Amino acid sequence: METGPFASLAQIRILLIPVGPIRRSAFEKYAGLVRSFGHIRLGDIPPDPREDKNRFIPSPLSSGHLHLSYITHPPPTWHNVFSLFRMSSFPLGFKATLVSLFPPDSPFPFASKCFAFEEGEGNVNLDLGPSIPELVYVGTLLAELCHDILAEFPALVSPTLVLSVNTDQWTKKGQVRTVESAEGMEAIMSRLLPAVSSTTFPSSSNSTNGLSRGGTGVGSHSGASTPQRFGITNAKKRASSVGPSNGRLSKIIGDLCLLAGKLGEANIWYTEAISLFRTQQDSIWNASALEGQCIIEVLEAWSAGDSLHTSLVGNALGDPWANISDKMGQAINLYSRATPTTPTPVPAADAEAASIVLLYTDAVLRYSRFLFSIWSSKGWNPLSISMMLTTGVPTTFLPTDHISMTLSQAHGPFLMHLQQPDQIRIFSTLASLYSCIGFKRKEALVLREVQAAIMDLIVCGRDEHRSNLGRESLSNESKIYLFDRDRDKDRDTGQSVSGALGVRETEDVEGNISIVRLAKCIAEVYGVDIACIRVMDVASEAPTTQGSHPIGPLEPTDMLTGRPHFGWPELQIGVVRETVAVAEALPDHASVVQFSLSTLKTLHKFLTANEQYHLYSVALRGISTLRRRGVNLRAEFWAEAPIVSIEVLPLPLPRLPSEHLRQHLEGHHSKRPSITLPGSPFLYHPAGKKAATSQECCALNFALYQLFILFCGVQVLVQNESIEFVVALRNPYMFDFDIQYLILSTSGIPFHTQPVSVVIPANSQHTLTLTGLALEPGTLIIRGCQLQLAGGIPREFLFPIVDGNRTSLEVSTMPKRNANSSPPQFSHYEVVPQQPLLRIRRSSLTMGALVLYDGEISKIHLTIENISTLPVDFYRLAFDDSTIGPAQQGLADGNLSVAEVYETEYDLVHRPCFQWDPPSQVVPIEPGNKTIITVSCFGKLGCTQGTIQLSYAHVDRPSGPSGIFHTRRITYPLNVTVYHTLECDNLDIIPFKTYANLPHLDTAAFADDRDRSALLGIDNADDYCLVSMDVSNLFGSPFQVSIERHQEDTPPASNTCLILPGSTRRFLLPIKRFTLSSEEVSKAIPTLSNRQFVVAKDRLTPKEELVQRDLFWYREKLFQTISGRWIEPETGRTGTLSLRGQRLSLPMRDALRKDLFPLDLIFQNTPRSLNLACSLVPPTLGEHALLEGSLTHNYVGSLNPTQSAQKSWRVCFMAEGVFEFRIDAVEVGEDGRPPPDREKQMTSSFVTAIVG
C-alpha cells in the first residue's frame, strides 16, 4: 500500500509489469506512455449490454472521470488483509507491454477480477513507436481495460449484496453467509493461486530485469501469508458479531462506486454505512467510510474546477475545508481508539494491531497531505481568486505548525507494530512532508529513523541470509530476500547462493550511496559538515590537488576565532557516531573514513579522548581495508593545520657570510684598520667592531644580526652547506598524531631535503629540526611544509608573511582579506655561493690568555687551517680590545679639551693593542693547507679583553660578475692582563746654563766648568736644556730603563739605569734647544680620527688658545726627540716607556725653546758694569746691592738678524754673599708695547755674582 495522493481511495490501481525479456528503457518508455493517462472520462468507457456486469459500468452520457494510478510492484502480502476493506490499495488491472500468454494471476482476493490485457495489434503499434494517434489508441485500450475491470465489480459484490438484503434481521445467518461468501472468494482464489506459485513463475521473473523481482517475492510469500489472512477474516468475523455487517457492505459498495466514478451513488452508500455504524460501534469501518466521504468531496471539488468558488462562497466565513477537516479528524480519532480484539499473546493480535496502526497512520498522512496541498498551493486556490474580486481578508491562512502537529500524530511508539517496510514508508513520507514545510530538524529526526530502519533490515537480512545459507545447502530452496522492494541493499554482501561456488556479483552500490547520502543530509541539518574531507582516488586527483590549497594555514583559523559554535554539540556527536556506525555496517569504507575524519576535524573540541581515538582508529582501519581491497582511495588532509611556525636557524657567526662591495678590495692594503666610532650611522658594520668584551661582543653581534634579519626580512644562507629549519608542530587531538611524511616546500633555487616522519604526542606541541642543502646560489623561498598523514593525500601548508611579520596562526586570523586580495608573500632567503671555511688550528697563547707588562711589545702566532674545498685568497684582520670602548665613549661625550682629545686619539691610532701588517702578497690558503698569521701586541694599561677577527673570502671566482663578494669571519677572543710596571713622573726642563753655573760640589773632580759640559757632550751651554724625570718601578722585578734622545744635529744620547723594585730613579738628559716657527706653533691641534666634529664645551679666549697650541706643538716636538725603553734583564722582555702622561708647563717650554736673541751676560771687574736690564733675583732681605740705572724699560732698539746691541748697568755690592741676576729681554712692538697678534718673545739670562 503505497502512500498515494489524498484521493488514492478513488483510484483504480493498475500494475504494470513487463513480461518476457524487455529492455528496461523500452519498458519505462511505454510505461510512461500509459501513465500519462491519469483519468478516463466515464463517457469513454464502452457500455456493456450484459445485465449482470453493467451495474458499475457508467451510462454512456454520464459525466465524471475514472481515476487511474499505476504501480510497478505488487503490494506486500501482509496487506492482503485489507482486500475487502480497501480495494483501492490493490491493483485491479494488469497491463503488460508485450504480448504473451501469461496466465492471469494474482495473489490477492480481488485479483480474480483482474484482467489480463492482451492486444496483439496495439502492442505492435506501440513497439513501432507511438505517435499521437497511438496515444489516443492507448487511451481507448485503457478505457476498455477499465470497462473490463468495472464489469467484474458486480461479480464481487452480488453475493454480498444479496446477502445484505437477506440478513437485515438475521444476523447470525448473515455472518455465516458472509463467511460463506468469503469462502466463495477463497474458492475463486484457490482456482488462481496455483498459477502464481513460485514454480511456474521463475522462468519469466529471472529473465526479466529487477522489476519483476517483486513478483517472485510475492509468490514465494503467498503461502506463508495465507494463515494470516485467515486469521484476519476470523477476526473480522468476530468483530462483525457485534452488529450486522450491512454497514460494511454499504461501505464496500460505496468504495466500488467511488472507484467506478459514481460519486453521488457512493456518497449515498457511505452515508448509509455511517448511520449504521453509529449504532454498531464499528469504528474502523466507520472511519473508513468518513474518509471515503472526504474524498468524494474533494473529487467533486476537483471536477467542479474553476467554478468551485461559486459553490463555496456561501460558507466563506469559515475554512472552506472545515467539513473535510472535521470528518478526517473524526476518522483519525476513530482509528486511534481502535483496539485489537484478540488478547495480546496471540500472534494474530500483533498483525491486527499492525493493520490498525497502518490504517491510522495512513489516515493521518492522508490528512496531512491534504493540509499540505492546501498550504503549498497557498490556500484554497479558486477561493483566493474570488477573494481578489471581493473585498475582505482571505480566511484561508494555514500555518505550517498545524500541518506539523497533524503529522506528529502519525509518529509514536505504535509504529513499532508495523512491518519494517511499512515503517520505512511512513517515516519517509513523514520526512518528505516535514521537509516540504521547511521543518528541517524534524525531517532529520525522522530521517534518522528511516536510516535506522533500513539499516536494521540490512543487518537482519544479512543475518537471515547467512543462516539461510546453511539451510539452503540442504534444502536447495531459492533464496529469500526479506525485503527487496526498491532498496535491495543486501546485495553488497557480495556473495551469491546460487550453487556451491562463491560467485562475486557485480556490486550494486546505488543503495549504499543513497543511505550515505541520507546520512550526510541528516548531519548537515545538525550542522556537521560530515563530508568536509574529501576522499578521492589518488591516481586521478593527486596532480590537481597539489596547488588547490594556496592559503593553507589561513583556512583553519576559523576554528580559532571566537565565533560561537553553531548547533548542539551533544546531538552532533551522537549523529556522527551513528553515521559512522551506519557506514561501518554497510560497509562503506570510504564513507567511514570520510565521516570519521571530517568529524575529527570539525568536532574534535567536543569529543572525548576515547571517542577521538575511536574515530581515528576506525578511519585508519577503513583506509587499510580499502588498500587491501586494491582501492587506492586517499583522504584529504584532515587535521587542523598542525604547523605553528617554520623558522630558519640563523647560521652560527663563524659561518655567516657578510656582503662587501668588490671595490673595497682595492683599499684593503691600508696599514691600519679604520676606527669606527659610535657615531657611525651604520648599524651593522662588519669591518669595524663594536667595543665590548668579546662575549658581549658576540652577543651584541648576534642581537644585531637578528635585528637585521627582522628589518630586512632576508636571511643569508650558504650554498652546499646544511641549513637547519625549526618547525613547530601542534597536535590538538587527544591521541598521538602520526605524520608519515613531512617535507619542506620550497621554491626558487633547487633545494635538497629529506622527508621525515614524526609522531606528535597527544595534545602538545612538538618541535622538529629539518635540514637541507641549497644546491645553487640564488633566492630560496620557503613556502611552507608538505604533510601527509597515514592514507592521506599530501597537502601543502603555506606560511606567508603578513605585513612583514612572520605568519603564525594567531597573527593570520585578522588579515584574511588582505591575503586574499594579493598573492601571499613568503619568507625569502638569500643563498650565496659556496664559501670557504677556515678555522684556527692553534695559537701561541695558552688558554687564549695574554699577559703583558705595561708598554710591552710581543707577538702572537695563529695557525689557520682551511677546512673547505675552496681556497682562501683574501683575508684580513681586525682587532678590538677593552680600552677602545671607554676611549671612544670619552671622545663621544665631548667633555675633553682639545689636547686631551688629541691624546686619546693618539692612543687609539698610534698605540693600538693589536696590530697586524698584512703581507704585501697574499698567498692563497689552498684547501687543507695551513698558514700562520702573526699579530703584534702592545701592552696597554687597562686592557683586559681583546678580540682578533679574521675575515676571509674566496674572491677570485670564475663566475663573479656582480660587484659583491662575501666574507666570513673567525673571532678569536683573548683575555689580556697588563701589569703596571714602570711609572714616569715629574718631568722638568731647566736651562743647562743654570746647571752649568752651579758650583761643583766636588771641585777636585771638576776643576773647570767646561768639564761638565764636555761630559754631556755639550759645546755651548746656552744651546741646551736639561730634561729630568723620575721613573719608579712598581713591579716586583728589576727593569733596566733607558731614556734616549734622537735629534738631528746631535749625536744620539741616552741615559740607562737599572731600577730595582720599589725604587725611583731620576733621569737627566740634555737636549738641544729648538725653536718652532710661529706658523708651526699657531696651527690648530689636529684630529687624528674621522670623528664627527664636536663643538668644544669650554670656550677659550684667543690668547689662551694661542698658549695652548704653543705648548702642544713644543710638547709634540719634545716627545719626538726623546723616548723611553725598558728591558727586563731576567727575561729579556722589552717595551717602551710612555712619556706622554707628562705635561709641559710654560717655564719648561721657555727652557726648551731656543732663545730668539741670546743674551750674553757677564760681569766685568773693571769697570763693573752690566749689560742690559738686570734684576736681582731673588731679592733677599739683608743683602743689598746698589744698582745704577733703570731696572725696567731699557729700550734697546730694533735689532736686525745677526745684529747685536749692548747695554750696561753699574752695580755696587753692599754686602757679602751670592747675588744672582736675571736679565729678561722682551720683544716689543713699534710703540714699545708687545705685538698683539702673538705671544711676546722673551729671553732670560742669569748671572751670579759671589761677593766675598
Among residues 559 and 857, whose Cβ is nearest to another protein? 559
Among residues 410 and 729, whose Cβ is nearest to another protein? 410
Sheet (strand 982-991) strand order? 982-991, 1024-1033, 1064-1072
Please choose, from the candidates 995, 1031, 1030, 991, the residue with its C-alpha nearest in 3D space to the C-alpha of residue 1013.
995
Q: Select from 400-408, 731-739, 807-815, 1216-1224 the region that touches another protein (CB under 8 A).
A: 400-408
**393 near another protein, rule: CB under 8 A:** no
Among 25, 169, 344, 1206, binds another protein (CB under 8 A): 344
List of residues 6+ apart from 1049 with CB closer than 8 A: 1072
∠ CA(644), CA(648), CA(654), 5° rounding? 155
**350 near another protein, rule: CB under 8 A:** yes
The verdict on whether omega for the bond into residue 399 sits within 30 degrees of 0, i.e. cis, is no
Among residues 365 and 1159, whose Cβ is nearest to another protein? 365
**558 near another protein, rule: CB under 8 A:** no
Calculate the dihedral angle through the C-alpha atoms of 1211, 1212, 1216, 1221, rounding to the nearest 10 degrees: -10
| Residue 585 Cβ vs another protein, minimum distance, rounded to whole Å | 8
Number of C-beta neighbours around residue 507 at 10 A:
11
Report the chain's terminal Cα–Cα distance, integer Å. Answer: 167
| Residue 460 Cβ vs another protein, minimum distance, rounded to whole Å | 5
Among 172, 238, 337, 466, binds another protein (CB under 8 A): 337
Q: Select from 128-136, 450-458, 616-624, 1233-1241 the region that touches another protein (CB under 8 A).
A: 450-458
Residues 582-621, one symbol each (x = binds another protein by CB under 8 A, - = not), give x--x----------------------x-------------
Among 448, 966, 993, 1072, binds another protein (CB under 8 A): 448
Among 170, 568, 684, 1195, binds another protein (CB under 8 A): 568
| Residue 434 Cβ vs another protein, minimum distance, rounded to whole Å | 8
**330 near another protein, rule: CB under 8 A:** no
Among 170, 230, 566, 711, binds another protein (CB under 8 A): 566
Interface size with another protein, residues (CB under 8 A): 65
The distance from CA 228 to its chain's CA centroid, rounded to whole angstroms, is: 66
Please choose, from the candidates 1143, 1119, 1142, 1149, the residue with its C-alpha nearest in 3D space to the C-alpha of residue 1239.
1149
| Residue 357 Cβ vs another protein, minimum distance, rounded to whole Å | 6
Among 296, 445, 950, 1139, binds another protein (CB under 8 A): 445
Q: Report how far residue 68's alpha carbon sits from residue 141's, in angstroms, rounded to the nearest whole number.
A: 13
3-state secondary structure labels for all residues of 113-133: HCECCCCHHHHHHHHHCCCHH
Among 264, 318, 574, 919, binds another protein (CB under 8 A): 574
Number of C-beta neighbours around residue 996 at 10 A:
18
* Beta carbons of 792 and 635 less than 8 angstroms apart: yes
* Beta carbons of 676 and 685 less than 8 angstroms apart: yes
Q: Select from 85-93, 353-361, 807-815, 1072-1080 the region that touches another protein (CB under 8 A).
A: 353-361
10 Å CB burial of residue 1097 (0-12, 13-18, 19+) is exposed
**339 near another protein, rule: CB under 8 A:** yes
Among residues 344 and 920, whose Cβ is nearest to another protein? 344
**378 near another protein, rule: CB under 8 A:** no
| Residue 483 Cβ vs another protein, minimum distance, rounded to whole Å | 12
Among 122, 567, 918, 1217, binds another protein (CB under 8 A): 567
Nine-digit cell at 393? 481578508
For another protein, the binding residues in 780-799 under the rule CB under 8 A are none
**578 near another protein, rule: CB under 8 A:** yes
Judged by DSSP in three states, 284 sits in helix
Q: Cα separations (Å) of 957 from 278, 664, 953?
A: 115, 16, 10
Among 444, 554, 623, 1172, binds another protein (CB under 8 A): 444
Q: Report how far residue 551's alpha carbon sits from residue 558's, in angstroms, rounded to the nearest whole number.
A: 13
**581 near another protein, rule: CB under 8 A:** yes
For another protein, the binding residues in 154-183 under the rule CB under 8 A are none
For another protein, the binding residues in 453-482 under the rule CB under 8 A are 453-456, 459-460, 463
10 Å CB burial of residue 754 (0-12, 13-18, 19+) is exposed
| DSSP code for 1131 | T
Site of grid cell 746631535: 1050
Q: Which long-range contacts (CB under 8 A, 24 or more apart) does 29-36 make?
A: 30/97, 30/126, 30/130, 31/70, 31/72, 31/97, 33/126, 33/130, 33/135, 33/138, 34/70, 34/95, 34/97, 34/138, 34/142, 35/70, 36/135
Q: Report how far residue 606's alpha carbon sits from residue 572's, in angstroms, rounded to the nearest whole number.
A: 9
**329 near another protein, rule: CB under 8 A:** no
Q: What is the DSSP string of 566-635?
A: PS-HHHHHHHHHHHHHHHHHTT-HHHHHHHHHHHHHHHTTTS-HHHHHHHHHHHHHHHHHHHHTT--EEE
Q: Select from 170-178, 446-454, 861-869, 1120-1128 the region that touches another protein (CB under 8 A).
A: 446-454
Q: Report how far residue 1132's alpha carbon sits from residue 48's, in angstroms, rounded to the nearest whole number.
A: 152
Q: Select from 134-142, 347-355, 877-885, 1018-1026 the region that touches another protein (CB under 8 A).
A: 347-355
Q: Select from 22-30, 243-251, 438-446, 747-755 the region that touches another protein (CB under 8 A).
A: 438-446
Nine-digit cell at 126? 506501440
Residues 514-543, one symbol each (x = binds another protein by CB under 8 A, - = not), give ------------xx----------------
| Residue 481 Cβ vs another protein, minimum distance, rounded to whole Å | 16
Nine-digit cell at 505? 556479483
64: left (phi over 0), alpha (psi -120 to 50) or beta: left
Among residues 204 and 451, whose Cβ is nearest to another protein? 451
Among residues 9 and 457, whose Cβ is nearest to another protein? 457
Among residues 570 and 1130, whose Cβ is nearest to another protein? 570
* Beta carbons of 1220 and 1248 less than 8 angstroms apart: yes
Residues 404-433, one symbol each (x = binds another protein by CB under 8 A, - = not), give xx--x--xxxxxxx-xx--x----------
**401 near another protein, rule: CB under 8 A:** yes
Site of grid cell 452480488: 158
Among 306, 570, 1008, 1231, binds another protein (CB under 8 A): 570
Among residues 435 and 1075, whose Cβ is nearest to another protein? 435
Q: Which stretches of the chain bind another protein, using CB under 8 A?
A: 336-339, 344, 349-350, 353-354, 356-357, 360, 399-401, 404-405, 408, 411-417, 419-420, 423, 434, 438-442, 444-445, 448-449, 451-456, 459-460, 463, 526-527, 564-571, 573-574, 577-578, 581-582, 585, 608
